[in-house]
Amino acid sequence: MSTEALQNLSPDDLEQVLARATGRRAALGGGEKAGFAVWLAKQHLGLDPHLQEVIYLPSGSPEQEVRLLEVNEKLYPDPDDDAVIPRSMTPAISKLPYRVLAADITPDQWGGIQQGRVVLPSGWSLKDRVRVGRRAP
């Protein structure tokens, strides 16, 4: 379900979607927020064929904030600009308990982040990251 589709849900339907999305919280080991983040990452991967993977960054984030890095093979940033700039991706739903910040990055930027050459936004950390990739066909 896309973030646009989430915006059109009734409060009761949204509650059911969130319950399904966070239902695997014990297996994820990160609680309801982690379940929602992984579910949302899978939704983004299903909507954008150019996304290679989505990385959820739980460490250091406020309790009500979900931080995602989205590795997009079709981005063409300025070669002199390695800025990782998050943007709000929060659906406009009053009962959604999380603010969603996502940063689109290239595969080269992802490699640079892992090697310490590209700096994450202030307060963002790779510690305890959760990578969500595409399933093999």
DSSP 109: H
For the chain, give the mean pLDDT: 80
Residue 7 pLDDT greater than 80, yes or no: no
**pLDDT number for residue 28:** 37
The span from the CA of 20 to the CA of 14, in Å, is 10
**pLDDT number for residue 52:** 95
The span from the CA of 49 to the CA of 20, in Å, is 24
Task: Give which of 9, 10, 8, 32 is closest to 21, Cα–Cα.
Answer: 32
119 vs 96, higher pLDDT: 119
Domain extent listing, the chain: 3-133
43-99 pLDDT, tens digit per residue, is 899 899 999 999 999 999 999 999 999 999 998 766 666 789 999 988 766 677 889
- The reported pTM is 0.76
